[in-house]
Structure formats: structure tokens, C-alpha cells
């Protein structure tokens, strides 16, 4: 059984225990263990084989035994007992906003309701409002939530959420009452999908600001409207939480509102141990008194004896220990990026010409770009035949001669065909500067065939980097199945870099894959996969995923000079 499945069952156990009314700290022990397993980059099976399961944070003797049982038999006693006692449909009921374990327990025990459809029937029959502690409003809310969940599209991809958030932020920023404003939450941390949008405002007069938000045309529903905290759902379905604080506590609030939950729990536990209390208003001595830090995030971390932790690292995955020890890496920044290795032009499915892309790249301050149009197999994109590619290389080289301060490199995004062969004459691939090898067809091969397909392609020695290496589409299709470690090992062997593709639908590799690749010694390169001049700006998303993978400037090939970049890959082709 894989790590994610074990984590899912552990968290299911925690949820069922909560509904059952178990001790909440016991519940949290299972939640903690689920998180530990989920963020583990090694195979749980390997850890178990070495008898080291209780080296995991939050896993003691009892949980180690449960995990062991899950790994070997696919189930464990505590899970089986809970499922015997409770209906798994209750877990779906937890997805309803405003309905938590306590109320579900009441509904379950008095009405026998144990899934969404019987819940809907009970609410329609007005049976919910008759229960103690529940009323008509809750009943209406339940019906509205069931309706919403029936066509719920789940979490929003980061790029789409960021565009919406920026638009709301810019509108709020026009108000004179707003002193400072920032997007916080998982958006600021760069998580690849976003549950809701968090916006933080500093102001002395909060009332007019939240009043303005609830009146915006894009607001479909007001979920909560308090003095300092307001939540709305937009017509697009995404929820926006606005929090307003005094300017003097903006830093503490920004930290608080950026999360993650795991980061906060770890940090507050640590603070408490040294006699400090931390909340959205600042860091306090435990006997209260004025805040000892609150104005900036740097102050907050400093008061806790920590160096500044960038938002992308705040996931409760060891960043606090590293900050305390002063060993946090200096993360790569957009300004470190000297060029882009993946983009398209009008030659295939891009919207801009070579010269237009070059001009846009120069505006971004790049030293180099690689033009990588599609090969023939991608017919919908008007992929190039060998003769067309030969001409295209010539045009790129001519354009290059016209720029003194920008190197234009000739490249291609060549298709890796079903059998692992490359969709272009090898001489042309060897002749151009950079080859992105990508899969755009036969996604459904089994893992063994797909692994072999990728390795065969890399073994040609002609590929500079694997483009969008998992093929997943954010919020669309999952990636193709293959043995990631075997492919990474081959990438190292054949001198092939792996791409973090920043285009808005992909973010592929994501941070977890990139971290794993880096640890396995594979080289990482960032590509915007731009299909227009605007698309070049998607490099920003690739950088953010790299930061989430704890990568520094020296861990990313785009920070090198052209000569060093080209020398870092395709070792057998050195000319």
C-alpha cells in the first residue's frame, strides 16, 4: 500500500473518531500521523522494512503497529472497528461547511441520517431544525451546501486563483481606508491548488472596507460579515476571506493569515515552550502585556529566535528547525533567472514571432531564450516536419545575429513517441542547441511501458530536458504512470535535466516531484512553455514551485550562463 493511501486511511480514522466523540487529542494523534506519512518523501514500505516507522514525527508504538497492519493487510483493527460502528457516508457529511463532527453526531444519533442523500431528505422534511442546538438557518445552509457540492469543482488551480485574487486586491486597494493590503493564505505559499482566497488589510477603520467587499458585483453570497473578518463566495464559486487588522499588527497578521496550519501548530508549540504566545496580533510574553513583535514578519520570526522563513517553506516540514539552526537555504528568485528554455512561436501553435518573443524576453532582462516549437506528431499544433525544422533553425540563428545582448538558441520540443523514439531526424536534434523531450500521446501505457519509453528516449543522448515530466493537467487529467525513481536515475545517467513547467495549466514537475528529483541528483530547469509574449511571465510560477522544493539559485540551470547551461546537459554531444 502506498504512502498516500495509508495517509488517507489514517485521516479517515481521525474523522470517524471525531464523529464518534473520541478524545480530541487522540484524534489529533491520528491527524498528525496522517500528515507525517503524507509528507514523507521515502516509501513507507522501506521505512517499515527497516523497523523505523516510529522515527516518524507523531508515530509511537501504537500507530506504528496500525501503519504496519495497513501496509501488510490493507486494513487495521481500529479502522475496521470504526467502520463496523459508523457509516462511511458520514465522512461525506463533513464536507458540508458549517457541519462538523459534533452536529453530525447529533443528526446521526437522533435521525439515523448517515449520508448526504438521507441528510438532504431530512433537511427538506424540516427535521434538522427540530434538533437541539440546530435551527432553521443551519437547515437552509445544509441544503444550499448539498446543492453546491453537487457541482463542486473542488480546489482552484493556483494561476486562476491568483488572477482572481489580484483583481479583488486591486479593487480594495483603491479605498482610502486601506493602509496596506496583501494576498495571504495558500496562494502566498504557492500551493498548486487553492481552496479559498485570503486577503489581509491593514486599516484603522475596517467597517467601510468589508462593506465594500460584500457589495462587489462578483460576490454571489455573503458567508460571514463581522467587524474584522468577512467571508464571501464569488460567482465563480471560490471563497474569499477578508481580514482587517490595525497597521501595527500587520506583520503578525500576515504571518498568521499565510499559514499553513501545520506551520502554525509547530511554531506555537515551540513558542509556548519558551514562554511565548503567538497570535495574529503579535508575539507576547505569556503573562501578556504589550506585543514584543508584531509590525513585520521579520520581527515575528526574530522574536521567536528564528531567521525569516519564506512563505513557500511554511508547511511544517522542518522549516522551523532549519530556521532555528540557521540552515534554511537561500531560495531561487525570479531575478536570478537568466533565461527561458521552453517556448513556442507562430511556426507551430504560438501566437508571437521569433522576434516578438525575443523582444519580450529582453524586456524581462533575460540573457538567453530557447525557441522550442513542436515536432510533427503534434498535428493539432501544426508540428514541424524535418525540412521545416531545418529552415526554422536557420531563421532562429539569423535572428540571434541581430541581438547583441540576448542569445537566441535553436531548439525544439520533440515528441517522445509510443516506443520511446524521437519524432525528428537525429542529425537535426544534434545540430540544434536544446531539445525538450515531451510526451503528448499514448498517455495510458502501463507503468512498465511508460518507464521504458522515457528511458529509451533519454538514452539517445539527444534530449536536454524532459518537458512537463508527469503530463498532468491541473484540475484536469492526472499524470501518466511510471516509475519516477527509475526515470530520475536514467536522467542522471544520460545527463538529462527535468523541467518545472510553469504554464498555467501544468506546474509540472510540482514542488514534491522537483524536491525528489533534486535529492536524486537530477538537474532542474525551469520553462514557461510560453505560447505568447505574455506567457513568458509564467516563469514566475515555475520559480515559485522551485522555491517550494527548497531549491536555491545554484540548484536551477536557468541561473547559469548560456555556455554553462549547455554544458550541463547532453554530455555525449559535447562539441
Partner DNA sequence: GCCGTTTTCGGCCCGACTGTTTTCAGTCG
Which residues of the shown chain bind DNA in the complex (CB under 7 A)?
23, 25-26, 28-30, 32-33, 54, 57-64, 78, 94, 96-104, 129, 132-139, 141, 185, 195-196, 198, 224-229, 239, 241, 259, 261, 264-265, 268-269, 272-275, 277-281
Nearer to DNA by Cβ, of 64 and 313: the residue is 64
**Cis preceding-peptide flag for 509 (omega within 30 of 0):** yes
Distance between CA 433 and CA 531 in Å, rounded?
20
Q: Please report how close the Cβ of residue 145 comes to DNA at its closest, in angstroms.
A: 9
Q: Please report how close the Cβ of residue 108 comes to DNA at its closest, in angstroms.
A: 11
Q: Please report how close the Cβ of residue 279 comes to DNA at its closest, in angstroms.
A: 4
DSSP annotation of 21 reads: T
Q: Please report how close the Cβ of residue 234 comes to DNA at its closest, in angstroms.
A: 14
Q: Please report how close the Cβ of residue 222 comes to DNA at its closest, in angstroms.
A: 8
If residue 77 lies in a helix (H) or strand (E), which one and from where to where? helix 77-85
Distance between CA 236 and CA 405 in Å, rounded?
44
Nearer to DNA by Cβ, of 99 and 455: the residue is 99
Pick the closest to residue 540 from 555, 558, 554 (CA basis): 558
Q: How far is CA 448 from CA 445, 453, 481, 487, in A?
A: 8, 9, 8, 11
Q: Which three cell numbers stand for residue 431?
A: 545540430
Nearer to DNA by Cβ, of 3 and 533: the residue is 3
Nearer to DNA by Cβ, of 65 and 175: the residue is 65
Q: Please report how close the Cβ of residue 83 comes to DNA at its closest, in angstroms.
A: 16
Start-to-end CA span in the chain (Å): 47
Nearer to DNA by Cβ, of 23 and 176: the residue is 23
Nearer to DNA by Cβ, of 265 and 562: the residue is 265
Q: Please report how close the Cβ of residue 188 comes to DNA at its closest, in angstroms.
A: 12
Q: Please report how close the Cβ of residue 196 comes to DNA at its closest, in angstroms.
A: 6
Distance between CA 202 and CA 32 in Å, rounded?
33
Count other C-beta atoms under 10 Å from residue 329's C-beta. Answer: 15
DSSP annotation of 537 reads: G
Nearer to DNA by Cβ, of 185 and 469: the residue is 185
Residues forming a β-bridge with 490: none
Q: Please report how close the Cβ of residue 126 comes to DNA at its closest, in angstroms.
A: 12
Rounded to the nearest angstrom, the gap between the alpha carbon of residue 95 and the centroid of all alpha carbons in its chain is: 21
Q: How far is CA 392 from CA 27, 378, 411, 478, in A?
A: 62, 17, 9, 33
Helix (H, G, I), strand (E, B) or coil at 134: coil
Helix segments in 125-280, DSSP class H: 136-150, 158-173, 185-189, 207-215, 250-258, 261-273
Q: Please report how close the Cβ of residue 292 comes to DNA at its closest, in angstroms.
A: 14
Nearer to DNA by Cβ, of 239 and 353: the residue is 239
Q: Which three cell numbers stand for residue 198?
A: 485570503
Nearer to DNA by Cβ, of 106 and 364: the residue is 106
Q: Please report how close the Cβ of residue 286 comes to DNA at its closest, in angstroms.
A: 8
Nearer to DNA by Cβ, of 157 and 185: the residue is 185
Pick the closest to residue 125 from 114, 111, 115 (CA basis): 111
Count other C-beta atoms under 10 Å from residue 216's C-beta. Answer: 14
Residue 346 has φ and ψ, to the nearest 5°, of -60, -15
Nearer to DNA by Cβ, of 97 and 179: the residue is 97
Count other C-beta atoms under 10 Å from residue 526's C-beta. Answer: 31
Nearer to DNA by Cβ, of 214 and 377: the residue is 214
Nearer to DNA by Cβ, of 285 and 394: the residue is 285
Q: Please report how close the Cβ of residue 251 comes to DNA at its closest, in angstroms.
A: 16
Nearer to DNA by Cβ, of 174 and 274: the residue is 274
Q: Please report how close the Cβ of residue 166 comes to DNA at its closest, in angstroms.
A: 19
Q: Please report how close the Cβ of residue 454 comes to DNA at its closest, in angstroms.
A: 38
Distance between CA 342 and CA 534 in Å, rounded?
14
Distance between CA 454 and CA 467 in Å, rounded?
11
Distance between CA 224 and CA 133 in Å, rounded?
19
In this structure, what is the dihedral angle of CA atoms 17, 20, 26, 31, given to the nearest 10 degrees? 30
Burial class (CB in 10 A: 0-12, 13-18, 19+), 290: exposed
DSSP annotation of 247 reads: G
Distance between CA 561 and CA 434 in Å, rounded?
14
Place of cell 523514439: 421
Q: Which three cell numbers stand for residue 374?
A: 513542436
Distance between CA 200 and CA 202 in Å, rounded?
7
Amino acid at each position: 500500500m502506498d504512502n498516500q493511501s495509508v495517509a488517507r486511511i489514517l485521516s479517515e480514522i481521525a474523522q470517524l473518531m471525531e464523529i464518534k466523540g473520541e478524545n480530541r487529542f487522540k484524534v489529533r494523534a491520528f491527524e498528525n500521523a496522517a500528515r507525517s506519512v503524507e509528507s514523507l518523501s521515502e516509501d513507507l514500505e522501506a521505512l517499515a522494512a527497516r523497523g523505523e516507522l516510529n522515527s516518524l514525527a507523531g508515530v509511537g508504538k501504537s500507530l506504528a503497529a496500525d501503519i504496519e497492519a495497513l501496509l501488510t493487510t490493507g486494513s487495521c483493527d481500529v479502522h475496521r472497528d470504526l467502520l463496523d460502528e459508523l457509516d462511511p457516508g458520514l465522512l461525506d457529511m463533513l464536507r458540508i461547511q458549517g457541519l462538523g463532527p459534533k452536529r453530525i453526531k447529533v443528526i446521526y444519533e437522533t435521525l439515523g441520517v448517515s449520508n448526504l442523500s438521507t441528510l438532504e431528505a431530512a433537511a427538506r422534511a424540516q427535521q434538522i431544525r427540530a434538533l437541539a442546538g440546530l435551527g432553521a438557518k443551519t437547515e437552509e445552509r445544509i441544503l444550499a451546501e448539498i446543492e453546491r457540492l453537487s457541482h463542486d469543482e473542488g480546489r482552484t488551480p493556483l494561476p486562476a486563483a491568483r488572477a482572481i485574487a489580484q483583481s479583488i486586491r486591486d479593487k480594495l486597494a483603491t479605498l482610502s481606508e486601506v493602509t496596506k493590503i496583501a494576498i495571504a493564505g495558500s496562494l502566498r505559499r504557492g500551493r498548486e491548488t487553492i481552496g479559498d482566497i485570503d486577503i489581509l488589510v491593514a486599516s484603522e477603520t475596517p467597517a467601510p472596507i468589508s462593506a465594500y467587499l460584500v457589495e462587489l458585483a462578483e460576490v454571489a453570497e455573503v458567508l460571514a460579515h463581522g467587524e474584522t473578518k468577512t467571508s464571501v463566495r464569488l460567482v465563480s464559486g471560490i471563497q474569499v476571506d477578508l481580514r482587517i487588522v490595525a497597521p501595527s499588527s500587520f506583520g503578525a497578521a500576515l504571518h498568521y493569515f499565510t499559514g499553513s496550519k501545520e506551520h502554525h501548530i509547530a511554531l506555537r508549540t515551540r513558542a509556548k515552550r519558551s514562554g511565548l504566545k503567538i497570535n495574529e496580533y503579535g508575539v507576547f510574553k505569556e503573562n501578556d502585556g504589550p506585543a514584543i513583535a508584531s509590525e513585520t514578519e521579520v520581527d515575528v520570526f526574530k522574536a521567536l529566535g528564528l531567521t525569516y522563513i519564506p512563505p513557500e517553506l511554511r508547511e511544517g516540514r522542518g522549516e522551523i528547525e532549519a530556521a532555528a539552526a540557521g540552515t534554511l537555504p537561500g531560495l531561487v528568485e525570479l531575478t536570478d533567472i537568466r533565461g527561458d528554455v521552453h517556448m513556442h512561436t507562430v511556426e507551430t501553435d504560438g501566437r508571437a514571432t521569433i522576434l516578438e518573443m525575443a523582444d519580450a524576453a529582453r524586456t524581462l532582462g533575460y540573457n538567453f531564450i530557447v525557441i522550442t516549437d513542436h515536432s510533427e506528431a503534434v498535428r493539432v499544433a501544426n508540428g514541424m516536419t524535418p525540412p521545416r525544422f531545418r529552415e526554422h533553425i536557420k531563421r532562429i540563428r539569423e535572428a540571434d545575429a541581430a541581438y547583441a545582448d540576448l542569445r537566441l538558441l535553436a531548439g525544439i520540443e520533440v515528441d517522445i513517441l509510443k516506443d520511446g523514439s524521437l519524432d525528428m531526424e537525429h542529425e537535426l536534434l544534434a545540430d540544434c542547441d536544446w531539445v525538450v523531450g515531451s510526451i503528448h500521446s499514448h498517455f495510458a501505457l502501463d507503468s512498465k511501458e511508460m518507464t521504458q519509453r522515457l528511458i529509451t528516449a533519454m538514452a539517445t543522448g539527444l534530449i536536454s530536458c524532459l518537458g512537463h515530466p508527469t503530463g498532468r493537467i491541473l484540475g484536469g487529467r492526472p499524470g501518466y504512470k511510471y516509475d519516477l525513481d527509475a526515470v530520475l536515475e536514467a536522467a542522471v545517467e544520460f545527463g538529462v535535466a527535468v523541467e518545472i513547467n510553469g504554464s498555467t495549466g501544468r506546474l509540472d514537475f510540482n514542488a514534491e516531484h522537483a524536491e525528489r528529483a533534486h535529492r536524486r541528483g537530477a538537474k532542474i530547469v525551469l520553462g514557461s512553455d510560453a505560447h505568447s509574449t505574455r506567457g513568458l511571465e509564467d516563469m514566475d510560477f515555475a520559480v515559485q514551485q522551485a522555491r517550494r522544493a527548497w531549491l536555491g539559485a545554484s540548484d536551477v540551470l536557468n541561473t547559469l550562463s548560456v555556455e554553462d547551461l549547455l554544458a550541463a546537459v547532453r554530455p555525449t554531444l559535447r562539441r
